[in-house]
Chains A and B, each alone.
Chain A
C-alpha cells in the first residue's frame, strides 16, 4: 500500500532536490509514521469494489445447517439408522445415528430456494440471498473454528477480517470507530476474534458490550462540554508551544488532532449509537418492541445506523450468553428460540438496507464457525460439524436468490463446489476491492495475508 497521506515534512523531503532513486525508495518504504498519524485515512483498494462495508451476522456455537438451509430427504427417510459411511477421524464425541430434521422446509421466493419453517422472515428475503451450502472448515472446537472463521487461522493469533479491511481501506467517518463488534455476552477467546494481532492496534475491533453505553469514555466529566472545551483550547496552545522546535511534528500534530477528534466523537458517537432516535415503525420492523427479538433487533438496527454513517465493518454476535447456537442437546426447544430471536431482525435489516439503497454496496454475511452433525448427539442434539455447513451472503455485489454448492445426501460432507473458509475470505476481500494475495503486511520476516497461502474467489456467486 503506497497511497498513504503524505505528511508535511515527508512531502518536503520527497520534493526536495538532488535525491537518488534509492533515497526516494527508502522514504517510500518508511511510510509508517503517516499510517500512525492517520490510521483511518481512506485508502483506495486494488480494484473497483462492489461493496464498501460489511455486516457479519455471527451465530456463535454453530447453527445447524440441516435444520435451517440444507434440507436432506435421505436424512428424514433414514432417521435413526447409522450413517452409511465412515465418519472422519476428527471427532470430539461419538455421535449416534442419523437424526431427521424435526422441521419442514418449503420453497421460497421466485428462486424457490428451500428454507426451514424456523426462518419464515429470512425466507421472505431469499431472493436477495446467496446460500452457500458447501462451506467447510478445519477445526472441530469452538475456539479453533471461530478463530479460523474470523481470522483465517485456527491456532495462532492473526488479524481479523475487520482489521484487515480497516487497515486496507481506512474508514469513511473519522468520528466513529471503523470496525465495531457488538456482543452482549462474552464469547470464548473474546478479543482474539476481532484482534488486530500484529497490525497496529488502531485496526482492532471496538467492542460494544452494553448497548446503552456503547463506546468507552464518551462522557465528559459532569457532562460539561463547555468546561472541557476550555481545557482543550489551553491544551492546544500548550501543545503548539511544545511543538515549536521539535522534529517529530507529524506525530505531535496527529495527537493534537486526536483530542479534537475525541471532542467531536463525544457529540457524534452517542447520536450514531442511539437507536431511540429511530421511528416507532422502524423499531417495530426490527422487533425491538418484542421481548424475543429485542436484543438482536437492537443489534441489527445499530448495525444499520453505523454502516449508514460510514463504519467499515460491523460484526454482530448473537450472544445473549456464550455459544448460544451450540445445540448439543435441547435442539427441538432451543433452536426455534434462537431462530425466533434473529429471524425478524435479520429480515428487517435486509429490507431496511435495501429500501435505503445501501444493500447494493453493503455485504451481509450470516453464519457461525461450523454447522451441526446430521447424526444425533444424545437423542435431541447435534455435535459440532466443520465438514459441510451453510453460510449465506447478501448484497455487496453477490447474486441473490441462488444456492451455491452442496453437501452429500446426508448433509455430512461438502461435495460440490466446495467453499473453504479461506475461499469465503478471499471472496469478501474481492468484493471490497482487494486481491487477497496482495493485501499483505510484513511481520516477523514475511508477508502475511488473511488467506495465508490459500483461498480462491468464489466467482460463481458474484453478480
Chain B
C-alpha cells in the first residue's frame, strides 16, 4: 500500500502535470512578517499605483509591454522581457534596472509619464526587492484568461455527462428522448409547444434540410398517401441516402473550413502558383465523406493528418488522406507577403485558428500575441501547437521577397510512377540540350546527320510515350518549410507579441495543457499532427463531439443549442439545453460518430416536426398564472392567450419550428430544380459561370470577388471559418431576382415547363398549370384567392400572348417569399 506521504506527492505531481502553465506562485507563498506587510501597504502599493499604475495595471486593462504591476502574478510572470523582479536580488531585477534609468534597457517611468523616480522612491523599491518583494496581493491561480477554478467549472470543459431524459407532464407528446429534454424546459417556463407541422410542411422542410432542394410533386404525393406510422422515417432515410445529401452537408462544412475555389474570380488572371486550383478535390472528398457517412472522428483525423494515414487498400499514396489535408492549406493567403517569415507565421496562425474553431469550439488563435483573455489557454499553449504546424510543410518553397506564394502540390499516383516520369522528363531535357549543343557547333552538322537524326527520333519517341502530368492535390507533408526560420521538425519559441522578430523561450510541442491535463499524448517522432488529430478526435475530449453535434443541430433548426458554434469558450453563452447537448453528444459517440444517425435522431423527434405557424389555438402560454402548473393543452379557453412568440421571440425553448430563408445556394438550386433543368452532374473544378445548370456547389467561390450571386444572398465569407450565415434583406437581392438574366431565364424555363407538361387541350388548362406551378414551387395547391391573382397577372400582361403571361406569372412566383422561406 502506498504511504500517505507518497500518495500526496503523486497527487501533487499530477496537479503539476495538469496545470503546467499555472502560476502557483509557490516561492512567494511564504508567510511574510507583519512588518513586511505594513511596509508594502504603506510604501510600495501607493508608489506602484501612482507611478506605474496608468500603464501597468491588469485591472485597468493597460499592460504596456505585457507587464502588470497591480498583482503579484503580474510581476512574477513579467512582461515581454520576462519576470520583472527576482525576489531578493535587486541587481538582477528588470524593474530596478528600469527605475534606475540604466542605459542598456528600458527607462521607467518614461519621461512623458513624469520621468525618473525620486532617489528615495528608488531606494524604497530596492529595499522591497531585497526583502524578497513581499506582496500580499494574491489572486487565484490562473491559466490564461481564467482562474483554474472557474475553468474547471465551465460546462464545456467538463467531460460529457451521462444524462437521462427528464420526466415530463405532457407525457403523450414526446416521440423521442430529445422531446423529453425540450418539453421539460418548456414546461418549466410555462410555455407550450405548437402543433405538429402538416405533412406538406414537413416534407418540404426535411427535403430542403437534407438535400438543399425542394421535394418533387411525386415525392409529396407518395408521402401524403403513406399513412403508415413509419412514413416520415421512410422519407428521412430516402433523403439521407440521396447523393444530394452529401452536396448539402458539404456546403455546410465548407463554410466552417473557409473553403474557396480560387482567389481571383477571373480565370484568365489567375496565377496557378498561388491559386488553390486543386481545392475542388477536397470539396468532392467532403461530399463523398458525407454520402458514405465516414465517421466524424475519422473525417477530422483525415483533415489534420490524412497524409500520415496508411492507405486503406495498402497501396500508397493514400489519396483521400492527402486530399483531406487541403483543409490546412486552403487559407486566404492571396499571393503571399514580401515578409516570408511573417507569411509562414500567419499561415500557422490560420491553421491553429481554424482547427480550434472548427473542431474544438476554441478561439485558440487569440493566444498568438498574449495569453487568452478569457479562456484557459496560454501563449505557451499556442506556441506548443505552433511547433506542430511549423513542423508541417504546406509550401513548395519559402520563396523570394518579391515572389509569390507557392502552395505545395502532392501527386496522387504511386511514387514509382512519378519517379519514372521525372526520369523521362529529365532524359528529354538532356537530349534537347545535346541537340542544342550539336546545333551550336561550327560547322553546324547537316540536318540529315545520322547521329542527330537518331537523337531526334529517340527524343520524339519518348516525348510521345510521356504520360501527362500526374494528378495532384494541395496537401501538407512532414517537416517545415525549407529555408524558413523553422525548417524541419522542431519546437519553436514563443513569439513575443506574435512577431517572429522577437523570440522568447522554446516551448515543446504538446496539446493545450489545461485541456490535455495528465493525458498529454507523447510526440515521439514526426510533427505531432497525428497526435493532435487523435487527441482532438478522442472520445475523452469534452469539446469535439459537443461542437459537431451542436453544428448539426444548427443545420436543422437554424440556431445551435449553443448559439456561437465556433466558440464554446468562457465568454460564450452556455447552451439552452445543456443536458440535451450532452445526451446527443454521448449518443453520437456511441453510434460511432455517425452523422447520418445523428440527423435521423434529430429529424424523427417531435420537436423537429413542430409547425412554424401561429394557429388559432396554439402557441399559448400560461401567462399570468401564479403557480406555473401546466394546463392541459386541450383546454385553451382557460389560458391567457399570449403567444409564446412574445415570451420567447427567438424560440430558444423550441416551442415551435423557426421558419427561415433559404441559403444562397439553395435559392439558386431550387430555381433550377423547379424549371426541371438542374444538371445532376457531380464533382470537378468549379465554374465561373452562374448560368450553368449545375448545383451552386459547383459555381466558384473566389475570395477576391464579392459581387456575385452567392455573396449577395449572404454566402459564407471564405476568408475565415464562418460559424453561421447572416440573413440580410437588401434591395440588390430583389433587383437580381427582378432583372438578372439568370432569374429571367428561370422564369421563362418554368413557364415553358408549365405549358409543356399541361398541354393546351387539358380541361381547365389554366387552373391546371397554376396548380402545377404551386406544387412545384410551394409543395401545395393554390387557393381560389391565389388562382384569381394568378389569372390577373396573366390578364394584365402588356402583350397578351399566352407565353409571356405564363412567364410573368412564373417570375412573380419565383420572387415570392413563400419560394425562399421554409416553414
Whether B733 pairs with A230 at a CB distance below 8 angstroms is no
Whether B735 pairs with A262 at a CB distance below 8 angstroms is yes
Measured CA separation A30–B576 after assembly (Å):
14
* Chain B residues in 8 Å Cβ range of A177: 732
Assess whether A77 is interfacial by the CB under 8 Å rule: no
| Stretch binding the partner chain, chosen from B320-328, B515-523, B786-794 | B786-794
Whether A202 pairs with B730 at a CB distance below 8 angstroms is yes
Q: Of A93, A226, A241, A266, which one neighbours B785 at CB under 8 angstroms?
A: A241
B-contacting residues, A243-262, CB 8 Å:
243, 245-248, 251-252, 254-256, 258-259, 261-262
Q: Of A92, A191, A206, A248, which one neighbours B821 at CB under 8 angstroms?
A: A248
Assess whether A192 is interfacial by the CB under 8 Å rule: yes
A-contacting residues, B306-324, CB 8 Å:
none
Whether B646 pairs with A251 at a CB distance below 8 angstroms is no
Nearest residue, chain A, Cβ from B706: A191
Given contacts A230-B793, A255-B729, A255-B817, contact A143 B334 (CB under 8 A): yes
Q: Of A143, A190, A245, which one neighbours B613 at CB under 8 angstroms?
A: A245
Whether A444 pairs with B721 at a CB distance below 8 angstroms is yes
* Chain B residues in 8 Å Cβ range of A154: 337
Assess whether A440 is interfacial by the CB under 8 Å rule: no
Whether A235 pairs with B566 at a CB distance below 8 angstroms is no
Measured CA separation A452–B343 after assembly (Å):
19
- Distance in angstroms from B73 CB to nearest chain A CB is 21
A-contacting residues, B148-167, CB 8 Å:
none
Measured CA separation A231–B821 after assembly (Å):
20
Q: Of B332, B624, B642, B730, which one neighbours A39 at CB under 8 angstroms?
A: B730
Assess whether A463 is interfacial by the CB under 8 Å rule: no
Whether A446 pairs with B366 at a CB distance below 8 angstroms is yes
Assess whether B25 is interfacial by the CB under 8 Å rule: no
Assess whether A25 is interfacial by the CB under 8 Å rule: no
Measured CA separation A195–B783 after assembly (Å):
44
Whether B736 pairs with A235 at a CB distance below 8 angstroms is no
Measured CA separation A224–B807 after assembly (Å):
15
Given contacts A258-B733, A445-B366, contact A238 B789 (CB under 8 A): yes
Assess whether A408 is interfacial by the CB under 8 Å rule: no
Whether A9 pairs with B719 at a CB distance below 8 angstroms is no
| Stretch binding the partner chain, chosen from B123-131, B428-436, B583-591, B737-745 | B737-745
Measured CA separation A171–B110 after assembly (Å):
44
Assess whether B346 is interfacial by the CB under 8 Å rule: yes
Whether A242 pairs with B817 at a CB distance below 8 angstroms is yes
Assess whether A91 is interfacial by the CB under 8 Å rule: yes
Assess whether A237 is interfacial by the CB under 8 Å rule: yes
Nearest residue, chain B, Cβ from A205: B706
* Chain B residues in 8 Å Cβ range of A239: 816-818
Measured CA separation A23–B711 after assembly (Å):
34
Assess whether B681 is interfacial by the CB under 8 Å rule: no
Measured CA separation A243–B712 after assembly (Å):
24
Measured CA separation A251–B728 after assembly (Å):
9
Assess whether A324 is interfacial by the CB under 8 Å rule: no
Total A-B pairs, Cβ < 8 A? 253
Q: Of A157, A191, A195, A226, which one neighbours B798 at CB under 8 angstroms?
A: A226
Assess whether A280 is interfacial by the CB under 8 Å rule: no
* Chain A residues in 8 Å Cβ range of B712: 201
Measured CA separation A202–B55 after assembly (Å):
39
| Stretch binding the partner chain, chosen from A12-20, A47-55, A59-67, A304-312 | A12-20
Whether A201 pairs with B808 at a CB distance below 8 angstroms is no
Assess whether A156 is interfacial by the CB under 8 Å rule: yes
* Chain B residues in 8 Å Cβ range of A201: 706, 711-712, 714-715, 717, 726, 728
Assess whether A10 is interfacial by the CB under 8 Å rule: yes
Q: Of B265, B335, B729, which one neighbours A143 at CB under 8 angstroms?
A: B335
Given contacts A93-B401, A219-B739, A242-B818, contact A156 B350 (CB under 8 A): yes
* Chain A residues in 8 Å Cβ range of B815: 231, 235, 259
Whether B350 pairs with A245 at a CB distance below 8 angstroms is no
Whether A13 pairs with B734 at a CB distance below 8 angstroms is no
Assess whether A197 is interfacial by the CB under 8 Å rule: yes
Whether A238 pairs with B812 at a CB distance below 8 angstroms is yes
Most buried by B among A27, A141, A218: A141
Q: Of B642, B645, B789, which one neighbours A237 at CB under 8 angstroms?
A: B789
- Distance in angstroms from B254 CB to nearest chain A CB is 16
Measured CA separation A294–B376 after assembly (Å):
59
Q: Of B717, B720, B811, which one neighbours A231 at CB under 8 angstroms?
A: B811
Per-position contact with A for B721-764: 1 when CB-CB < 8 Å, else 0? 11100111111111110111000100000000000000000000
Whether A262 pairs with B723 at a CB distance below 8 angstroms is no
Whether A227 pairs with B366 at a CB distance below 8 angstroms is no
Assess whether A228 is interfacial by the CB under 8 Å rule: yes
Given contacts A9-B649, A219-B739, A227-B808, contact A246 B613 (CB under 8 A): yes
Per-position contact with B for A149-163: 1 when CB-CB < 8 Å, else 0? 000001111000000
* Chain B residues in 8 Å Cβ range of A221: 739, 744
Given contacts A92-B402, A93-B401, A445-B366, contact A234 B738 (CB under 8 A): no
Assess whether B505 is interfacial by the CB under 8 Å rule: no
Assess whether A22 is interfacial by the CB under 8 Å rule: no
Please count how many residues in chain A sit with their CB below 8 Å of the partner chain's CB atoms.
86
Q: Of B649, B706, B723, which one neighbours A30 at CB under 8 angstroms?
A: B649
Measured CA separation A48–B332 after assembly (Å):
38
Nearest residue, chain A, Cβ from B661: A251
- Distance in angstroms from B506 CB to nearest chain A CB is 22
* Chain B residues in 8 Å Cβ range of A227: 797-798, 808
Q: Of A157, A186, A248, which one neighbours B720 at CB under 8 angstroms?
A: A157
- Distance in angstroms from B388 CB to nearest chain A CB is 20
Whether A90 pairs with B339 at a CB distance below 8 angstroms is yes
Assess whether B682 is interfacial by the CB under 8 Å rule: no
- Distance in angstroms from A407 CB to nearest chain B CB is 21
Nearest residue, chain A, Cβ from B657: A247
Measured CA separation A13–B357 after assembly (Å):
34
Measured CA separation A248–B336 after assembly (Å):
44
Assess whether A124 is interfacial by the CB under 8 Å rule: no
Whether A235 pairs with B729 at a CB distance below 8 angstroms is no
- Distance in angstroms from A179 CB to nearest chain B CB is 12
Whether A93 pairs with B402 at a CB distance below 8 angstroms is yes
Assess whether B705 is interfacial by the CB under 8 Å rule: yes
* Chain A residues in 8 Å Cβ range of B656: 247
Nearest residue, chain B, Cβ from A199: B726
Measured CA separation A124–B355 after assembly (Å):
56
Assess whether B567 is interfacial by the CB under 8 Å rule: yes
Whether A144 pairs with B642 at a CB distance below 8 angstroms is no
Whether B736 pairs with A217 at a CB distance below 8 angstroms is yes
- Distance in angstroms from B419 CB to nearest chain A CB is 37
Assess whether B615 is interfacial by the CB under 8 Å rule: yes
Assess whether B707 is interfacial by the CB under 8 Å rule: yes
Q: Of B717, B728, B729, B732, which one neighbours A157 at CB under 8 angstroms?
A: B717
Assess whether B704 is interfacial by the CB under 8 Å rule: yes
Whether A216 pairs with B736 at a CB distance below 8 angstroms is yes
Given contacts A241-B785, A445-B363, contact A258 B798 (CB under 8 A): no
Assess whether B422 is interfacial by the CB under 8 Å rule: no
Assess whether B266 is interfacial by the CB under 8 Å rule: yes
Nearest residue, chain B, Cβ from A140: B338
Measured CA separation A237–B612 after assembly (Å):
21
Assess whether B659 is interfacial by the CB under 8 Å rule: yes
Most buried by A among B564, B728, B733: B728
Across the A-B interface, give the 8 residue pairs with the lowest CB-CB distance, nearest first: A157-B719, A191-B706, A190-B704, A445-B567, A262-B734, A445-B363, A217-B735, A202-B728
> Could you pull out 13 A-B pairs where Cβ atoms are within 8 angstroms?
A9-B646, A9-B649, A139-B338, A143-B337, A155-B343, A189-B263, A191-B706, A217-B739, A230-B793, A245-B613, A259-B815, A265-B731, A444-B357
Taking Cβ atoms with an 8 Å cutoff, the residues of A that contact B are: 9-10, 12-13, 16, 18, 23, 26-27, 30, 36-37, 39-40, 89-93, 139-141, 143-144, 154-157, 177, 186, 188-192, 194-198, 200-202, 204, 206-207, 215-221, 224, 226-228, 230-231, 234-235, 237-239, 241-243, 245-248, 251-252, 254-256, 258-259, 261-263, 265-266, 444-446
| Given A10-B649, A36-B726, A224-B798, 7 additional A-B pairs, CB 8 A | A141-B337, A155-B346, A190-B705, A196-B717, A197-B719, A247-B645, A445-B567
